[in-house]
Amino acid sequence: MKIEILFEDQHIIIVNKPNNVLIHNSYYARNIKDETLLELLYTQFGCHFYPVHRLDRKTSGILMLAKHKENVAVFQELFNANQIKKTYLGIVRGFVDLALVIDSPVKNPDTKIYKDAETYCEPIHRKLLDIPVIPYENSRYSLVKLTPASGRMHQLRIHLNKINHPIVGDYKYGDRFHNRMFEQELDCKNLFLHAYSLHFTQPMTNEKIELNASFPTDWIKIFKLFDWNFN
């Protein structure tokens, strides 16, 4: 598998991570034996890279890595200071009618301590399908833009479930009936959460960088089927 490169300079590389690819091996994913993103990049480039932030295995999209380990903290500080704007897109169950802020603590899986977390959710498109999903005679979906003000593990997935609009394809926090419908009726099996964009100023070069990550195949299929456009 060749990883798409969105940006590269002497300090960082920014890639478009596919669905279902771990960034690196971890205790929580110890049973997954597929090649990790870091292993794939090593095969592709012959050198090591160091993740600056994280994406869940099932989430696709834009990810920044440092070329030198000592520079990781420099870019992490930008994330911590909200000087890097991250935008995600999600397809969720139900109609999201109005923009809203989801302000709800998220539990850290290691410490079991809840930490403050905030997500801005903005509706973009809606779709009603004449396909029954228990307990309704039809099914409703929304395309939403998600801007996290914090970076807790599984934050977006937990927050969307909290407002009763779980992300389609999420088998941990989602709705199994809608997940099953997407698999059986639409032949789409992936999580519909995509890290779409990064906007920031590279602190070492002072270059302004604005990047968008192209969509996986399942997303393109749904955009065509639902007659949705997004630029």
Which of 23-32, 74-83, 101-110, 112-121 has the least mean pLDDT? 23-32
Q: Is the pLDDT of residue 28 over 60?
A: no
Is 56 tagged catalytic? yes
Structural domain spans, the chain: 4-226
Strand partners, 60: 194
The whole-chain average pLDDT of the chain stands at 93
Give pTM, 2 decimals.
Answer: 0.94
Q: Is the pLDDT of residue 110 over 80?
A: no
Looking at residue 150, its pLDDT comes to 84
190: buried, middle or exposed (CB in 10 Å: 19+, 13-18, 0-12)?
buried
Q: How many CB atoms lie within 10 A of CB 148?
A: 19
CA nearest 124: which of 136, 110, 142, 112?
142
Tens digits of residue pLDDT in 152-206: 889 999 999 999 999 999 999 999 999 999 999 999 999 999 999 999 999 999 9
What residue type is assigned to position 102 of the chain? Answer: I
For residues 128-153, average pLDDT? 94
Split at pLDDT 50, 70, 90, the class of 30 is low
For residues 57-65, average pLDDT? 96
- 4-226: CATH architecture: 2-Layer Sandwich (3.30)
Considering 34, 56, 116, 130, which one is annotated as catalytic? 56
Split at pLDDT 50, 70, 90, the class of 12 is very high
